[in-house]
Structure 1
Amino acid sequence: MGVRIGNLLNRVAGAAVLASILLVVSTGLAIWWTARQDSRPASDAIVVLGTAQYNGVPSSFFEARLEHAISLYEAGVAPVIVTVGGRAEGDEFSEAEAGRAYLAAGGVPEDALLAVEEGVDTLESMRVVSTAFAERGWASAVLVTDPWHAMRAQRMAEDSGIEAESSPTRQGPAVQTRATQFRYILRETAAYLLYRVTGESVAGAPGIG
């Protein structure tokens, strides 16, 4: 009897391990697949997820996102570009402010820019953007971020009440090498699964958060 119970427990444990592995693998593949998509329907706004900036100068990750947002704006995807992201401790500029200044310098009209200067992670950023959308009667957005971050960002935007699609960047440090891509996919897989289980966000490395 004891042997049978032991065998049953071993099978249950084995099945649980296999299910966990399949969940991780399928999530990683979904992140990879989403990263390869480029959805750009006509929307109320283009939303650029903030990341590191240095004294008002966007990092290379952030610059890649902003340049992609300019191309979407010029293609007529939306009449407004929203930058989002707060200040880290000691920073003089917020991510949203640095992004807005970069876009203005790049030729985007002032009245086509909105900086939402809050948000320390993706989830908080999506929530404050959702509030800004509600105040203006907007509903739909095209999200601009790094490819591997797109699926989590889109999920969090939708959970915050935004009709979201994603148009990830196709340049910048996040896509330079296969090793870099693999590392970010692994990190995003963990972050996405944590969000689905806990409903909480995590602060990521530059280019991910």
Structure 2
Amino acid sequence: MVRYAQTDETRPADCVIVLGAGTWEGEVSPVFAERLRHALDLYRSGLAPKIILTGGLDPRNTVTDAEAARRWVEAEGIPAQDVFMEEKSRYTHENFLYAGEIMAKEGWDDALVVSDPLHMKRAMLCARDFGVTAYSSPTPTSMYRSTGAKAKFLVRETGCMIVYGVWRLFGVRS
């Protein structure tokens, strides 16, 4: 995971998939904002003409991650016709299940995937498992700056990788 974290495959693609990272009272979290900033850099540089914002509704919130992100990118001047929302997912693998459906409907072949560096390994496994041709584009900055915060995120992500590995063994799809 750590070695893969800096794998950057950024290249032209049909869209950018931004993996959700939680909201606080209808606003994107600082981690989510980092991901959105990077996605907008990719979009504005012409690497991908469309953006898929992912993330469903956490029971503690009143809006989906995708809706909060849509508001954020709209405030940054991104045209509504270039933004697509996937609002059903609660887990990384579901981000790709549902984003893949949007891609198929729109006739898109490939995507740049934006997330935190330590999340990229699992994200790319999920993309592959759900048939999404994806290229890793980790955020160049992260809100997980201190050694303690990085260690905590790495421990959490290691646990998630183990759980996802078990799900893969048993063919869980959603």
Q: Is TM more than 0.5 here?
A: yes
**What are the within-5 Å matches in structure 2 for residues 1-209 of structure 1?**
31-174=1-144, 176-199=145-168
Aligned to 1:205: none
Three-state SS of the structure 2 residue aligned to 1:32 is: coil
Cα distance in 1, alignment partners of residues 160 and 135 from structure 2: 19
Q: Structure 2 vs 1, CA of residues 194 and 88 (structure 1 numbering), >3 Å: closer, same or farther?
A: closer
Q: How far did residue 114 of structure 1 move? A: 0.7
Deviation string, structure 1 residues 20-75 (Cα, Å, up to 9, x no partner) = xxxxxxxxxxx112211222111111000112112321010111111111111111
Deviation string, structure 1 residues 106-140 (Cα, Å, up to 9, x no partner) = 12111111111110111111101111111111121
Cα distance in 1, alignment partners of residues 70 and 88 from structure 2: 13
Query: Between Structure 1 and Structure 2, how many residues are aligned?
Result: 170
* Unpaired segments ≥5 residues, structure 1: 1-30, 202-209
Among the aligned pairs, what percent are the same residue?
A: 32
Larger Rg: 1
Cα distance in 2, alignment partners of residues 167 and 62 from structure 1: 15
Q: How far did residue 189 of structure 1 move? A: 2.2
Three-state SS of the structure 2 residue aligned to 1:188 is: helix
Three-state SS of the structure 2 residue aligned to 1:62 is: helix
Deviation string, structure 1 residues 139-174 (Cα, Å, up to 9, x no partner) = 211111111111101110111010011111122322
Name the one with the larger helix percent.
1
* Unpaired segments ≥5 residues, structure 2: none
Q: Structure 2 vs 1, CA of residues 181 and 90 (structure 1 numbering), >3 Å: closer, same or farther?
A: closer
